[in-house]
Structure 1
């Protein structure tokens, strides 16, 4: 296969891995979500603490987050972009995420980045980062921004 074909194939594989992650997140299926990560994942999530090291710590965090939101999980990516180089890939996008609280759907747009590595023939997330911009004067997160 040509290098162009290999790259296109890898991009499709990473896109499918991302879709599996989305499917698990929307279903609030933590086991399905965690299947997308490498055991040694390092995650910078927007909730609770600066970083999570390893699948155990991040799994505990995912369970906590899923318990906080009622109803189905809302994870709607905008313009996911994938860059691949051999066995390393980067995906970034804006993600509208949230859930139901007290009978009301609450969402906000976040910035998301996932770094994948191909191990044993599978693309796994080795680093993930979700964040919201903030106002420097007030220190408040800007959850009402739109793409």
Structure 2
């Protein structure tokens, strides 16, 4: 692992985080590969690429900036591929609902494309109650 690659990915993560907090779909997409494969908390099961309009529409359901924080980030690099996993906090003022927020699990995969690191895969999840109806557990904390 080169220190330069590690620093480049950390800078990419910072750009992505700041764009998320600003609710800037174009800024998010600038960090991603055009061929990104996403398993997000929102349906459908998989999303790929797009023009950012759907993401911006979701951002528009929030009042003011989003709160985002990550903890226990584990970044691994090998050649032109890297990944990180973390606990992530997302919160803010949801229009019509007020203040909301929750912790979830986040994994990002990166690849070097044309000399630049890009996010090529996103996986977001919450644990599910294993007894009774399978409901997502949004009240857990790291």
TM-score, normalised relative to structure 2: 0.91
Unpaired stretches in structure 2, ≥5 consecutive residues: none
In structure 1, what is the equivalent of residue 115 of structure 2?
121
| RMSD over equivalenced CA pairs, Å | 1.5
2:27 is the alignment partner of 1:27: no
Q: Any idea what the Cα deviations from partners look like across 1:110-137, whole Å, max 9, x if unmatched?
A: 1001100011221101110111111022
Q: Deviations over 1:41-80 (max 9, x none)?
A: 0000011210002x216x2442232122222111111121
Report the 3-state secondary structure (helix = DSSP H, G, I; strand = E; otherwise coil) of the residue aligned with 1:49: coil
Query: 5 Å matches for 1:1-147?
Result: 7-53=2-48, 55-56=49-50, 59-101=52-94, 102=96, 104-137=98-131, 138-147=133-142
Normalized per residue, the structure richer in helix is 1
Change (3 A) 1:61 1:136: farther
| TM-score (norm. length: structure 1) | 0.88
Task: Give unmatched runs, 5+ long, in structure 1.
Answer: 1-5
Equivalent-residue separation in structure 2 for 1:103 and 1:45 (angstroms): 21
Report deviation, 1:103: 7.0
Aligned-partner SS, 2:7:
helix
Count of residues paired in the alignment: 140
